[in-house]
Structure 1
Amino acid sequence: MEFKQENYYNSEERIWYGKPERTYFSKDQSIGEIIFREMKRHPKLIAQISDTENTILTRQELLLNSMRVASFMRKMGMVQTDIVGIIARNTTHMFAVAYGCFFNGIAFHSLNISYEESTIGKLFDITKPRLIFCDGDDYQKVKAATAHQNVMIVTMRNHHKDSISIDEVLAATVEDDFKPARLEQGINQTLAILCSSGTTGTPKAVTINNSHKIFNYCPLTTDDVQYTHSTLDWVTGLLTTVTSGVYSTTRVIADNPFDPARLLRAIEKYQITWLLQPPSQIAMIANCKEFDEANLQSIRCYMYGGGRTSIESQNSIRSRLQTDCMNMAYGFTELGTMVCMNDNFDQKPNSAGHVVEGFKLKILNEQNETLGPNEVGEICVNNGQHWSGYYGNPEETMKIKDSEGWFHSGDLGYVDDDGYLYVIERKKDMLKYQNIMYYPNEIEQIISQMPDVADVCVFGVWNQFNGDEAAAAVVKKPGSQIHAQDVVDFVQRHTDAKYKQLNGGAVIVDELVRSANGKTNRLGTKAYFLDIKDRN
Structure 2
Amino acid sequence: MAAASVFSRSIKRLLPSRTATLSLSMKNSVWTSDNIVKSPYKEVDIPNRILTEHIWENLERWPDKVAIVCSLTDRAITYHQLYKYSKTFGAQLRNKFQITDGDIVCVMMNNLPEYAPVTLGTIEAGAILTTVNPTYTPYEVHKQLLLSNPKVLVGVPKTVPILKEALKLAKKQIPIISCDNKSGIPLGTVSFQELIEDNHVNFETLKEVNLNFQDVILLPYSSGTTGLPKGVELTNRNIVANCVQQDDKETRHYDDTTSINQDSVLAVLPFYHIYGLSIVMLHKLTAGCKLVTLPKFQPDNFIAALEKFDISLLCAAPPLVLFLGTYPAVKSKHLKSVKRVTCGAAPLPKPDVEKLLAKGEHMQMLQVYGLTETSPLVSTLTAGSENYTSAGKPIPNTELKIVNSDGQNIGANEVGELFIRGPQVMKGYRDNYEATKNSITEDGWFKSGDLASIDEDGSLKIADRLKELIKVKGYQVPPAELESIIKEHPAVLDAGVVGVPDKHTGEKPKAFVVLKEGYRIESNDIANFVAERVTEYKRLKEIMFLDGLPKNPSGKLLRRVLKEKYC
TM-score between both structures, scaled by the size of structure 1? 0.87
In structure 2, the partner of 1:269 is 308
Q: Is the 8 A contact 1:483 1:508 kept in 2?
A: no
Q: CA deviation digits over 1:128-159, x for unaligned, max 9?
A: 22221111212122123335445221011352
In structure 1, the partner of 2:242 is 214
Deviates more, 1:117-126 or 1:197-206: 197-206
Q: Is the 8 A contact 1:42 1:59 kept in 2?
A: yes
Q: 1:501, 1:490 → 2: CA distance?
A: 10
**CA pair 446-62 structure 1, distance change in 2 beyond 3 A:** closer
Deviation at residue 508 of structure 1 after TM alignment: 4.5
**CA pair 48-179 structure 1, distance change in 2 beyond 3 A:** farther
Deviation at residue 13 of structure 1 after TM alignment: 1.4
Q: Is the 8 A contact 1:296 1:322 kept in 2?
A: no
Equivalent residue for 1:12, pick from 23, 33, 39: 33
1:466 corresponds to 2:505: yes
In structure 2, the partner of 1:22 is 44
Secondary structure of the residue aligned to 1:186 is coil
Deviates more, 1:377-386 or 1:463-472: 463-472
Question: Aligned AA for 1:498?
Answer: E
Q: 1:409, 1:67 → 2: CA distance?
A: 36
Deviates more, 1:463-472 or 1:232-241: 463-472
Q: How many residues of Structure 1 are paired with residues of Structure 2 in the alignment?
A: 522
Equivalent residue for 2:67, pick from 47, 63, 68: 47
1:125 corresponds to 2:122: no
Q: Is the 8 A contact 2:31 2:458 kept in 1?
A: no
TM-score between both structures, scaled by the size of structure 2? 0.83
Once the two structures are aligned, what percentage of the paired residues are identical? 23
Q: Is the 8 A contact 1:297 1:322 kept in 2?
A: no
Q: Which runs of 5+ in 1 are unaligned?
A: 531-536
**CA pair 104-508 structure 1, distance change in 2 beyond 3 A:** closer
**CA pair 516-415 structure 1, distance change in 2 beyond 3 A:** farther
Deviation at residue 479 of structure 1 after TM alignment: 8.7
Q: Is the 8 A contact 1:204 1:390 kept in 2?
A: yes
1:409 corresponds to 2:435: no
Deviates more, 1:417-426 or 1:26-35: 26-35
In structure 2, the partner of 1:498 is 536
Q: 1:395, 1:355 → 2: CA distance?
A: 28
**CA pair 452-231 structure 1, distance change in 2 beyond 3 A:** closer
1:18-417 superposed matches below 5 A:
18=39, 19-23=41-45, 27-76=47-96, 77-147=98-168, 148-157=171-180, 158=183, 159-173=185-199, 184=210, 186-197=212-223, 201-211=227-237, 212-216=240-244, 217-218=246-247, 219=252, 220=254, 221-222=256-257, 223-239=262-278, 240-256=280-296, 258-292=297-331, 294-343=333-382, 348-384=387-423, 387-417=426-456
Deviation at residue 322 of structure 1 after TM alignment: 4.0
Secondary structure of the residue aligned to 1:126 is helix
Q: 1:496, 1:385 → 2: CA distance?
A: 31
Deviation at residue 280 of structure 1 after TM alignment: 2.0
**CA pair 288-182 structure 1, distance change in 2 beyond 3 A:** farther
Q: CA deviation digits over 1:77-119, x for unaligned, max 9?
A: 4332222111111123221111212333322111111223233
Secondary structure of the residue aligned to 2:354 is helix
Deviates more, 1:198-207 or 1:188-197: 198-207
Question: Aligned AA for 2:387?
Answer: K
Deviates more, 1:445-454 or 1:156-165: 445-454
Question: Aligned AA for 2:243?
Answer: F
Q: Which runs of 5+ in 2 are unaligned?
A: 1-21
Q: 1:110, 1:281 → 2: CA distance?
A: 22
Q: Is the 8 A contact 1:283 1:309 kept in 2?
A: no
Secondary structure of the residue aligned to 1:251 is strand
Deviation at residue 347 of structure 1 after TM alignment: 5.5
Deviation at residue 262 of structure 1 after TM alignment: 2.3
Secondary structure of the residue aligned to 1:133 is strand
Secondary structure of the residue aligned to 1:137 is coil
**CA pair 485-417 structure 1, distance change in 2 beyond 3 A:** same
In structure 1, the partner of 2:18 is none
Deviation at residue 348 of structure 1 after TM alignment: 2.8
1:431 corresponds to 2:470: yes
Deviates more, 1:199-208 or 1:403-412: 199-208
Q: CA deviation digits over 1:188-245, x for unaligned, max 9?
A: 2222111113677543111111232221215332221112312332111222221232
**CA pair 181-286 structure 1, distance change in 2 beyond 3 A:** farther
Q: 2:234, 2:489 → 1: CA distance?
A: 40
Question: Aligned AA for 1:111?
Answer: V
Q: 1:331, 1:443 → 2: CA distance?
A: 25
Deviation at residue 424 of structure 1 after TM alignment: 1.4
Deviation at residue 309 of structure 1 after TM alignment: 3.5
Question: Aligned AA for 1:17?
Answer: K
**CA pair 453-143 structure 1, distance change in 2 beyond 3 A:** closer
Question: Aligned AA for 2:367?
Answer: M
In structure 2, the partner of 1:533 is none
Q: 2:225, 2:419 → 1: CA distance?
A: 18
Deviates more, 1:176-185 or 1:124-133: 176-185
Q: 2:126, 2:490 → 1: CA distance?
A: 51
Secondary structure of the residue aligned to 1:403 is coil
Deviates more, 1:509-518 or 1:422-431: 509-518
Deviation at residue 431 of structure 1 after TM alignment: 1.7
Question: Aligned AA for 1:61?
Answer: Q
Superposed CA RMSD: 3.2
In structure 1, the partner of 2:7 is none
Q: 1:486, 1:170 → 2: CA distance?
A: 47
In structure 1, the partner of 2:562 is 525
Q: Is the 8 A contact 2:216 2:233 kept in 1?
A: yes
In structure 2, the partner of 1:534 is none
Deviates more, 1:375-384 or 1:124-133: 124-133
Deviation at residue 485 of structure 1 after TM alignment: 4.4
Q: 1:463, 1:69 → 2: CA distance?
A: 44
Q: 2:455, 2:124 → 1: CA distance?
A: 43
Deviates more, 1:280-289 or 1:454-463: 454-463
Secondary structure of the residue aligned to 1:81 is coil
Q: 1:311, 1:185 → 2: CA distance?
A: 45
